[in-house]
Copies of this chain bind each other. A is one copy, B any other.
Amino acid sequence: MAQYVFAVDLGGTTVKLGLFDSEGNVLDKWEIVTRKENNGEKILPDIAKSIQDKAAEKSIAKEDILGVGIGVPGPVDSKGTIYKAANLGWDVFNVSETLGDLTGLPVKTGNDANVAALGEMWKGGGKGFNSIVAVTLGTGVGGGVIIEGKLVAGSTGAGGEIGHIHVEDNEKISCGCGKKGCLEQYASATGIARLANERLAQDDMPSVLRDADKIDAKAVFDAVKDGDRLAVEVAEIFGMYLGKGLAAVAAVVNPEAFVIGGGVSKAGDVLFEYIEKNYLKYAFHGTRNAKFCLATLGNDAGIYGAAKLILE
């Protein structure tokens, strides 16, 4: 008898959904709009309806559905309670219970970055490992910690918030979180652009970045690949902060591998030169064996991870 899992990746604009078989193969993928009006009260009913419609369309009986996994954009503890999701207008409530009541199905909920990490370990860049830390270098720096196949959600859903590890004592500018000197201020796409602009302003060293339309992480790492000296200096600073932060992470959970994703990771293997060398500079000897790999699932990591919440 075939069995199925529904996977949901809830974003601020769209909800990605996936239908999986019990082997973890994607049978279908689709999207619906995230309706945020009235504090997002329609979001979970919309998702429940979309799941029921799909089950009807595919003639899948309720008893053949193992459950629904969902990743949501906010801190979620291991019981499925979300501690506010400002982006959706949501306050504190139990997502697993609410969506469970709406669908009549078992539901498991995780934070979106954590769930994507689980996806990457299952079917992506972290495949073959059992304990990884996924590092998302995007607008901010996110993380997902997986130990022996299980997500570390954190007691109040803040597990894997590695972008807010303090790595610089002399920072003058505040991070979005209100603190000063967070990893995110240097290793995110935004942080890299800032490091580049600061370096450019420092003196007149020639650099292709001076003629770039836009100073962003892509421009910096393209310049690094072309051997641009100033861009290489920026990459070194980025690598120093990220290496320092990941060494701290390793001293806590000693993962087998770090899986690097997010927009910045599109730069590819060139990143590792700067991250690994600096990681080794700060890492405790017992954690030096950690591997570094690139995330490979892109925007699908969320639904893979959500399916895995049920199939684990």
Contacts and interface: CB of A to CB of B under 8 A. Distances in A.
Interface in A270-291: 282, 284-287, 289-290
Contact of A285 (B177, B247, B282): B177
B286 A165 contact: no
Nearest to A178: B285
Interface residues of A, number: 49
A284 B252 contact: no
Interface in A116-148: 130-131, 133, 143, 145, 147-148
Nearest to A148: B78
Interface in A238-254: 244, 247-254
B286 A250 contact: no
Contacts of A284: 158, 161, 164, 177, 179, 182
A152 interface: yes
Contacts of A249: 252
Which of A153, A162, A164 is the most central at the interface, judged by chain B CB atoms within 10 Å of its CB?
A164
A154 B75 contact: no
Q: How many copies does the complex hold?
A: 2
A230 to B, nearest CB: 23
A156 B253 contact: no
A114 to B, nearest CB: 11
Contacts of A78: 148
Contact of A155 (B143, B161, B255): B255
Contact of A131 (B155, B162, B290): B155
Nearest to A289: B156
Contact of A158 (B148, B150, B166, B254): B254
Contacts of A302: none
A161 B286 contact: yes
A248 B165 contact: yes
A150 to B, nearest CB: 8
Nearest to A245: B248
A184 to B, nearest CB: 10
Given A131-B155, A179-B282, A182-B284, 16 more contacts: A147-B147, A152-B252, A153-B254, A156-B289, A158-B250, A158-B286, A158-B287, A159-B253, A161-B251, A161-B254, A161-B287, A162-B251, A165-B247, A166-B244, A179-B284, A252-B252
